[in-house]
Amino acid sequence: MKNASAWFAALGGALVLGTMVWSEVIVQQPDKKEGKVIVTYWEKWTNFEADAMRVVVEEFNRSQDKIYVEYLSVSNVSNKTMLSTAGGIPPDVAGLFGGNIAQYASNGAVMPLDELAKEAGIERQQYIPVYWNMCTYRGKLWALPTTPASTALHYNKGILEEAGLDPNKPPTTIEELDEMDAKILKRDASGKIVKMGFLPTEPGWWPWSWPSFFGGSLWNGYDKITMATPENVRAYEWVRSYTKRYGLGTVQAFQQGFGGFDSPQNGFLDNKLASVIQGVWMYNFITKHNPEMKWAAVPFPHPADRPDKANTTVIDLDVLVIPRGAKHPKEAFEFIKFVQSQKGMELLCLGQKKHSPLIKVSDEFIQAHPNPYVMLFAQQALSVNAASPPKTPIWPQWGDEIKTALEKINTDPNLSVKDALLAVEQKMQIQLDRVLESERKLGILPEDGSRPSEDQL
């Protein structure tokens, strides 16, 4: 009975582990591992994005004979990395999201990479600044980039032409964007909307970012959350203006007719929306689902009275980290170092059809890149108005609170936008104060409450 109990316990443990890892697809061949240090690498990507990293992994494995990277495509990689690290069985490398680095660093779930990066000759000036900054927290380097992204307004030239608009003169201001929408709007005989020029909630992936386009900010960058400023209120009032103008039920019915993002029924790809804010990756889905579309990408419009907010863009980033307790951190960093090389990075970013996070790119990369607007996205990332999520451990919760507040703003016409934002501000300020107090006690921040230098944030 004891043996049976032990067997069932072992089986139970294996099943639990299986739900985390072994149900995923191992993409390398085991017969190539003999005599090498095995570095386990968990990554979130699937389909062509996974294929692109697989090529990089295989190139690294061929480039030397001491390390073998075992690449696994793992769903929900962020939570699984955190859980496995807490349980003492982390992978050697994990592919996470740049916006969550502060949370992982604060929780002690990842290793600082400063010394390893210094030994490898990896420095800040090699990167587009906003991407390097996303990898740091409290003056330390916790991650390094893989594929980056910035956003722009993608628009359908054919729909503009049908509406009598010049397809070579897309809107440059928010006001012009609203005018374009009004001219393109179409309803059927029943009054149902069948086509729109723009819709702020499609795809709705960056609800936190709208203040950036209007000159607002979510916080002071350190210790004060500033959700309810006039600029922020203006931004969310503009977002709500679309449901106010057309009616909440009408807009919802229109949007419910869209299919999934990666499908021909995507609102933009199905010619129901003339324009959409999207990232550099959108090229892949246009060519896949609507290759006949005549389209272009331009910087997202800014308010007419805020020309200083021209070239505002939302920044996104995928990163590599070494979880705390990894068995082979030095060997893991050898792989990360390879990815950071111009060769490795361009191989990956060309495979995913994105721009590089590195300042220096080869002529071959630009010439071979199929996205005709790839350099626009790289230039957007260099803009002084490039917006990335606040670097704070409370960001995951804070981001969810903003999303919920925006949903309430859009669905309740009687709700004061300022009140909705104040509620988020007050709730999250309490959380931020707790984090800062804890960091002061640990000696991470000055005990007197003074603001650290920018390099220490």
pTM of the full structure:
0.92
CATH match for 150-314 among 1.25.40.10, 2.20.130.10, 3.40.50.300, 3.40.190.10: 3.40.190.10
Decide if 328 contacts 66 (C-beta within 8 A). no
Cα atoms in the Cβ-side hemisphere of radius 13 Å centred on 317? 32
- Of the candidates 280, 45, 261, 277, the one whose C-alpha atom is nearest the C-alpha of residue 149 is 280
Question: What residues have CB less than 8 Å from 385, skipping those under 6 apart?
Answer: 212, 309, 310, 311, 312, 313
Query: 10 Å Cβ neighbour count for 53?
Result: 25
> For residues 344 and 338, what is the distance between their CA atoms, to the nearest angstrom?
6
Q: Which residues pair with 321 in a beta bridge?
A: 94
- For residue 444 the two structure tokens come to 């991470």
Question: What residues have CB less than 8 Å from 327, skipping those under 6 apart?
Answer: 92
So what's the pLDDT on residue 16?
Answer: 42
Decide if 195 contacts 186 (C-beta within 8 A). yes
> For residues 92 and 344, what is the distance between their CA atoms, to the nearest angstrom?
19
The strand pair at 144-156 and 295-298 is best described as antiparallel
Outline which parts of the chain fall under CATH 3.40.190.10: 23-148+316-387, 150-314
Using a 10 angstrom Cβ sphere, with 0-12 exposed, 13-18 middle and 19 or more buried, the burial of residue 394 is buried
So what's the pLDDT on residue 455?
Answer: 85
Give just the sign of the alpha carbon dihedral 346, 352, 357, 359: positive
- For residue 457 the two structure tokens come to 């944030």
Q: Which residues pair with 156 in a beta bridge?
A: 295
The alpha carbon of residue 129 and the mean position of all alpha carbons in its chain are separated, in whole angstroms, by 16
- Which helix (H) or strand (E) segment is 245 a member of? helix 230-246
So what's the pLDDT on residue 34?
Answer: 87
Indicate the SS3 state at residue 238.
helix
Per-residue pLDDT of the chain (457 residues; tens, 9 = 90+): 434 333 333 334 433 444 444 444 444 445 678 899 999 999 999 999 999 999 999 999 999 999 999 999 999 999 999 999 999 999 999 999 999 999 999 999 999 999 999 999 999 999 999 999 999 999 999 999 999 999 999 999 999 999 999 999 999 999 999 999 999 999 999 999 999 999 999 999 999 999 999 999 999 999 999 999 999 999 999 999 999 999 999 999 999 999 999 999 999 999 999 999 999 999 999 999 999 999 999 999 999 999 999 999 999 999 999 999 999 999 999 999 999 999 999 999 999 999 999 999 999 999 999 999 999 999 999 999 999 999 999 999 999 999 999 999 999 999 999 999 999 999 999 999 999 999 999 999 998 888 998 888 9
Indicate the SS3 state at residue 34.
coil
Question: What residues have CB less than 8 Å from 243, skipping those under 6 apart?
Answer: 251, 410, 411, 413
- Of the candidates 93, 116, 10, the one whose C-alpha atom is nearest the C-alpha of residue 332 is 93
> For residues 39 and 61, what is the distance between their CA atoms, to the nearest angstrom?
11
Dihedrals φ, ψ of 310, to 5°?
Answer: -60, 145
CATH no., domain 23-148+316-387:
3.40.190.10
Rg (CA), the chain: 24
> For residues 365 and 362, what is the distance between their CA atoms, to the nearest angstrom?
5
Decide if 386 contacts 152 (C-beta within 8 A). no
Q: How far is CA 367 from CA 342, 350, 371, 373, 377, in A?
A: 15, 11, 10, 12, 15
Q: How far is CA 165 from CA 187, 292, 403, in A?
A: 19, 20, 34
Residue 253 identity (one-letter amino acid) = A
So what's the pLDDT on residue 448?
Answer: 86
